[in-house]
Structure 1
Amino acid sequence: MCSHSPRCPPATDTDGEAAMVVRRADAQGWAQLCNGVVIFEDTGALFPDGQINAPHRPH
């Protein structure tokens, strides 16, 4: 999905959530990254393969 340079990290990398935002819905609290990850306002994430990352806010 990433067509710019330098390329964003793949969704499976540990820093996959550092990819560039390509679409956002601030009113709904989510943004899609160019590597296919959807990140949520509560710090959760949905990956292209259907896996989820539960919210991981610091305590």
Structure 2
Amino acid sequence: MCTHTPKCPSAASPDREAAHVVAARPEQGWSLLCNAVLLFEDTGELLPDGQVVAPHRPVAALV
């Protein structure tokens, strides 16, 4: 698990994407975070329990 100080957010935490990157494969479009979350470049996620989080890109504000 996380050895950073302060500890990274857990995979169940709403701010789980703030965890440190421990492995990155930008050519494949993913990063592994220290809380075992796989973060994809389209902002989708695969959690350690197998749960899939759909991409959640911010929507541009309408002017």
TM-score (norm 1): 0.95
> 1: CA distance between counterparts of 2:23 and 2:12?
19
Q: Superposition pairs for residues 1-59 of structure 1, below 5 Å?
A: 1-59=1-59
Identity of aligned residues (%): 59
Gaps of 5+ in 1: none
- The Cα shift of 1:58 comes to 2.1
- The Cα shift of 1:2 comes to 0.5
Structure 1 or 2, whichever has the larger Rg, is 2
Give runs of ≥4 in structure 1 deviating > 2 Å: none
User: How many pairs are equivalent?
Assistant: 59
